Structure 1
Amino acid sequence: MAKLNPLILLPLLSFLWLASGVVLAGRYYPGYDHLGQFMSELGASGTTHGAWVNLLVFAGAEVWVLLFVALAGRNFIGNGVALAGLLLLAVYAFLLLIAAFFPCDFECRPVEPTRSHLIHVSAGMSAYAAGLCGLFLISTGLRRDGRGAVSDRTAGLLVLAGAGLLAGTVLSQGYAGLFQRVLEGLLYLWMIRIGVALSRQAAQVDVTPDKRSADPGPTRRSTRQI
């Protein structure tokens, strides 16, 4: 049975970690609505299990992303555009870690927000923007190297879609949770797609024989007459 490449496994694990944690935490939050409420509300100040949700679910999910960034970095040596994108992806994960340790106020829609709430919202919104820009730059860099995960047009459409989902998350009253979850899914699918492209390249390198050692070279004909 073939092993799943870590470059695919790590973002997949992060997605499953976050999704399962949110679903489980939502079951212990009375009346929680996944379509209408932010995921952050599960870890908001004043909730029963907020501290554990922030530490284990939200912060835990970003650890997998940072491991993905660290492992993928060696594939981008000499590719400045992709490295810049990878740096932004690391910023995305670090900002979400900050958001996890500075929870929003109860129900995340306060009339007079606390400092923790302001930090949480600023870090979270900035993280999504950094993640979208980072994935776009990674895809652009890979395309220039002939290792494109997605086409330039698709990458541009994904950024526009992500920006629209981010706006919906901020502005929507009844479906903020839905917009946020679709945005998270878009970011994770894009990360996984990049992981697939990198793992395919690694597989091709592993199976390509060394022609210098495999090719015995031209056979010399003897010039001796019999």
Structure 2
Amino acid sequence: MQTLDRSLLTCGLLIPLWLLLGVWLTAQAYPGYDHLQHAMSLLGAQGAPTQHWSPLVNNYPLALLFALFAWGLARRWRGSRLALLSAMLILLHGLGSLGTGWFSCDVDCTPVQPSPSQQLHNLFGMLMFLSLTMASALWAWLGKCEADSLPLGWFSLICVIASISTVALMAHAAQSGQFFGLYQRLNYGVSVLWIAGLALFSLRSTAANSAHSTSQRPN
């Protein structure tokens, strides 16, 4: 079972790497795509040259990684109801990633009259933001009270503040038309780095518990 737990938790470490590589590779096939200005959703927008395979490279694999990590987190911290709630929120985030890939945004992702697909895309995007922000907020408390780790608690709190702050910057950029892509990447980058940090802590604590249990066994 330890091997399964480690494998599931390791999925959290893979998430930021997969996101970085997937978005970069997909953007190579989109002439004129600008990471500083353009939303990541534009890669899967209606009429985009990468519309059909962007979700296959980005949204769907990430959704699976989030779901597997949520399972591992629930197994590792199954004694805490709040930790189980955080795992459920991370699973919801994975479902949000699945939804934003399945329902593509309209051309340029900024229609005057959004289609039903655009509206659902926006709804799943909101689910992604709220679920992961709430999960990290829970660990600002759980880090100290459940995991007995002040650094994890402070790290989670800083990520919550950074996530909310960059959303405000994204809203301003959407109005000004400048650097929306940059702020979106900062926003999501903070969130997936928090996932990786939680995964690393959970892996180390699992290994420490396993070593302690082994040392306590009678010879």
Normalising by structure 1, what TM-score?
0.85
Give 3-state SS (helix, strand or coil) of 2:105's partner.
coil
Query: What residue ranges of structure 1 are gaps of 5+ in the alignment?
Result: 215-226
The residue identity in structure 2 corresponding to 1:213 is P
Following the alignment from structure 2 to structure 1, what is the Cα–Cα distance between the partners of residues 78 and 217? 25
Number of residue pairs matched by the alignment = 211
The match for 1:44 is: 45
Give 3-state SS (helix, strand or coil) of 2:218's partner.
helix
Q: CA RMSD in A?
A: 2.0
The residue identity in structure 1 corresponding to 2:18 is W
The match for 1:159 is: 160
Cα offset, 1:180, TM superposition: 1.0
The match for 1:217 is: none
Which among 166, 169, 179 is matched to residue 175 of structure 1?
179
Alpha-carbon contact 1:75-1:198 (below 8 Å) kept: yes
Distance 1:41 1:186, change over 3 A: same
The match for 1:62 is: 63
Greater share of helix = 2
Following the alignment from structure 2 to structure 1, what is the Cα–Cα distance between the partners of residues 216 and 114? 65
The match for 1:134 is: 135
Query: What residue ranges of structure 2 are gaps of 5+ in the alignment?
Result: none
Following the alignment from structure 1 to structure 2, what is the Cα–Cα distance between the partners of residues 194 and 71? 11
Give 3-state SS (helix, strand or coil) of 2:53's partner.
helix
In our comparison, the structure showing a higher alpha carbon Rg is: 1
Give 3-state SS (helix, strand or coil) of 2:58's partner.
helix
Alpha-carbon contact 2:44-2:54 (below 8 Å) kept: yes
Please identify, of 203-212 and 118-127, the stretch whose mean Cα deviation from structure 2 is larger.
203-212
Please identify, of 16-25 and 104-113, the stretch whose mean Cα deviation from structure 2 is larger.
16-25
Runs (4+) of structure 1 exceeding 6 A deviation are none
2:201 is the alignment partner of 1:197: yes
The match for 2:7 is: 6
Distance 1:127 1:149, change over 3 A: farther
The match for 2:97 is: 96
The residue identity in structure 1 corresponding to 2:24 is V
The match for 1:108 is: 109
